[in-house]
A and B are shown apart, each in its own frame.
Chain A
Amino acid sequence: MEQPAVTGPKVRVDIRNVNLAFGATQVLRDISLTVEPGEFFALLGPSGCGKSTLLRLIAGFNQAQSGTVTIDGADITSIPPWRRDIGMVFQNYALWPHMTVAQNVAFGLEERKLPRADIARRTAAALELVGLADYGSRRPNQLSGGQQQRVAVARTIAIEPKVLLLDEPLSNLDAKLRVHMRTELLALQRKLGITTIFVTHDQEEALSISDRVAVLDGGAIQQVGTPMDLFDRPHNRFIASFVGTINLLRGTAQKSAGGVTFESPLIGKVSLATDNPLSGAAEIAFRPHTLSLAAPDSVGATDRIWVTGNIAHREFLGEFVRYRIDAQGTDIVADQPHFGGNVEFVPGSQVRVGISPAQVRLLPA
């Protein structure tokens, strides 16, 4: 069976200085972004951050007050949605209940006035691609959530769009199916090579399948980078706490030779190597899984900064145990990998927490 192929070369999407407001509410603030050809790109952020609005802007459903969207250099800002050739998979799939699965998939091809034979062939090919070749005559409401999602994808890729937009495509699926479908989506995207932009509020989803991620908050882009970049080198405290779990500690920074000296009541003075030397009020961030815990009377490794505290709370999460530690009034979360029968600390007991300076990131306060 023939498969839909991307006819033209892979395209680049450029968003330049986009501002958008609904009435008095500023939803997008000076957004600039480039999505490389063939990239699987995620827009990540909490609800209300503007990520869906940005996606709908690319599809043509929202109009910016200023700024441009270009595809391979061609300005599409004033082109109506139906002439953009940008496929979008809606969060609720938006399958038309009065049409069969095949009619749904054929819709876009019919609107393009293709010959009948081509429509039939490409409809069948798209359904084949998502593994629903035998479901063409069913109605959408006779399908499971996962199948409906595949139909929505088939309907979109049938028109061989230049860009594929996915609006929280997995949010309506149950947890297990979600993990399965995201690998499937990625495999499909790799096979077709379409430049794909994908909106999600689930950081695990974004980190696990995207080539690059843009994190939005309050209508502005906070950071763009590979998943590993975002996790290891967050630019600010929002990114640090939104992507993964993190401990933050306030203090003051002082530029010094080879880096920065950070000082706070809890850990005293400590020298940090940083690519972003700053002075004044600052924060250090460190991940729970980089911490070591030790009994109060033990001798810890000397390359770590040790602080003492009390175990306030303990959560058993299977692969690891998460401790919430009250270190002289400061909350610290520490994750310890769990193996059968290893020593666990009991709530109420004293503990020493070892912070590795190499794993500490300095952030502006």
Chain B
Amino acid sequence: MATVLVVDDAAVDRKLVGGLLSKADDLRVEYAECGAEALEKMETVWPAIVVTDLVMPGMNGLELVQQIVERYPRVPVILMTGKGTEITAVQALKAGAASYVPKTALHTYLLETIHDVLDVVRSKHSHERLMDCLMRSEFQFNLQNDAEMIPSLISYVQSLVTSAGVCDESSVIRVCIALEEALRNAMFHGNLELTSEQREGDPEDYQKLIDDRTGREPFASRQLHVTVRIGDDSGTFIVRDQGPGFDPSKLPDPTDPANLEKVSGRGLLLMRTFMDEVSFNSTGNQVTMVKKCPAPCAAGEVAS
């Protein structure tokens, strides 16, 4: 049975909502008269969902949403909106509230909305638990030299790495920054053999060069091979191009004061900054980057 915490300073409204929820066999109702009391109760009754008014003395509904999102990110909040609270409701939704029901339509929509939100949350939690059990997965992509594929691939990897729990959300961004640098290096410098100097010139001329080489051999038929391997203690990202390769040891150090004014050359630096291991094959046309899971969130450990 799921506990619903109803937060409203008006006794008549609490009674109304309680009456509506009592029609559902699978819900148990707890009440709080204000945001502060709601937060206190959450420590003891562990609600599956919170239904709150927006306008309350002291901590209002928006502030309550912000507190719940921060302290209990797995507990969804449904807003009860009245006339004149639309802007606050939008702010609360942006802050993380799951849904809203107009007070004038509670009879029609509240129970349905609570069940819908609980279904989504249960499904999400099941998925998270399944991903906690993931031991290994591997994806391979063969990409043409089409820059439009880079944002799509990164977006996919972002959701994959997040879902598999390789690292926390901010670290996923760092992984994606490194991956983006590797992909752009491989596509533009590797397959299309464009130089840093060309990149520093007129941006539209540079784009013309990209367009020209993308349609001309030997560049046109070259592909990017990308492997994403999720293991129980790390994520491995391998990007291989079909260009002639390069010697990474001969790249100038972009942090050397003498090189700070150089426009480009910082891609490898960011890859090394945000990944735990970065290595190249002997030809220099394949980079392997490893991000290790912090011990507590290693995939394969079943969440308690």
The answer on A and B forming one complex is no
Identify the A interface with B (CB < 8 A).
Answer: none
